[in-house]
């Protein structure tokens, strides 16, 4: 449709695939042939790069890690199924976890001071060593780590790059995440995979990636 309208070649890709291209051309994955890009935003997206090429699948829809079922019979997902990774590990998912846990939490917590809790508030509180917020990040990292360990068994990446709001939480996410990934990896893959935050500015990765795709 766009090609007809604008008379230029147009390539269509999802945000995570575009971000993966951006990371490969300009970011944390320059020179890396096998990596996994995971975006932790409102939802969870992913792009798998194998042998320097994005995996598209036969229909262009490859790499939907956000809708891999991370918890059987778990939370209901917008896709109509239950327990998808993004219902736990997106910015929206971690807020859902915080809201659930706060309901039965008797102890003191910085999280009780926020009206409409955001993922940023949870990260801030965890960075201040708030017991409940640290626990929320630990639970989120466990579910993400288990699923990433499973994903590693499929494409054996050298690197996993995390992008998006939650990926900026720093050590409160990455320290437990690295532990849970290693705990769940098949021994063949242990101590070989680097997990790092994106080096691209939040607003730029998708744009850079889209540009890289066209170039």
Nearer to Zn ion, 70 or 133 (CB): 70
- Distance of closest approach, residue 81 Cβ to Zn ion, in angstroms: 5
The pair phi, psi for residue 32, each rounded to 5°, is -95, 125
Nearer to Zn ion, 71 or 134 (CB): 71
The DSSP bridge pattern shows strands 194-197 and 44-50 to be unpaired
- Distance of closest approach, residue 51 Cβ to Zn ion, in angstroms: 28
- What angle, rounded to 10 degrees, do the helices at 91-103 and 131-155 form? 140
- What angle, rounded to 10 degrees, do the helices at 91-103 and 119-127 form? 70
Which residue ranges make up the site for Zn ion (CB under 5 A)? 67, 77, 79, 84
* DSSP H or E segment with residue 35: strand 35-40
* DSSP H or E segment with residue 162: strand 159-163
Number of C-beta neighbours around residue 16 at 10 A: 29
- Distance of closest approach, residue 52 Cβ to Zn ion, in angstroms: 29
- 133 HSE (CA, 13 A, CB side): 25
- Distance of closest approach, residue 68 Cβ to Zn ion, in angstroms: 9
Query: At 84, is the secondary structure helix, strand, or coil?
Result: strand
Nearer to Zn ion, 27 or 43 (CB): 43
* DSSP H or E segment with residue 36: strand 35-40
- Distance of closest approach, residue 85 Cβ to Zn ion, in angstroms: 8
Nearer to Zn ion, 39 or 198 (CB): 39
Nearer to Zn ion, 79 or 153 (CB): 79
CA gap 156, 35 in Å, rounded: 8
- Distance of closest approach, residue 76 Cβ to Zn ion, in angstroms: 9
């Amino acid at each position: 449709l766009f090609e007809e309208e604008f008379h230029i070649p147009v390539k269509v890709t999802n945000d995570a695939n575009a971000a993966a291209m951006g990371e490969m051309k300009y970011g944390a994955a320059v020179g890396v042939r096998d990596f996994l890009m995971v975006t932790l935003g409102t939802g969870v997206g992913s792009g798998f790069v194998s042998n320097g090429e994005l995996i598209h699948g036969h229909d262009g829809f490859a790499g939907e890690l956000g809708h891999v079922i991370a918890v059987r019979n778990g939370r209901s997902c917008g896709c109509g199924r239950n327990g998808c990774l993004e219902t736990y590990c997106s910015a929206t998912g971690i807020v859902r976890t915080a809201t659930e846990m706060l309901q039965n939490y008797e102890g003191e917590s910085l999280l009780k001071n926020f009206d409409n809790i955001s993922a940023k508030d949870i990260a801030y509180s965890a960075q201040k060593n708030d017991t409940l917020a640290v626990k929320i990040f630990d639970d989120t990292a466990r579910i993400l780590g288990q699923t990433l360990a499973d994903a590693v068994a499929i494409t054996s990446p050298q690197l996993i790059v995390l992008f998006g709001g939650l990926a900026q939480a720093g050590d409160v996410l990455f320290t437990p995440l690295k532990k849970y990934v290693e705990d769940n990896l098949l021994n063949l893959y242990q101590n070989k995979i680097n997990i790092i935050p994106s080096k691209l500015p939040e607003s730029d990765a998708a744009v850079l990636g889209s540009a890289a795709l066209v170039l």
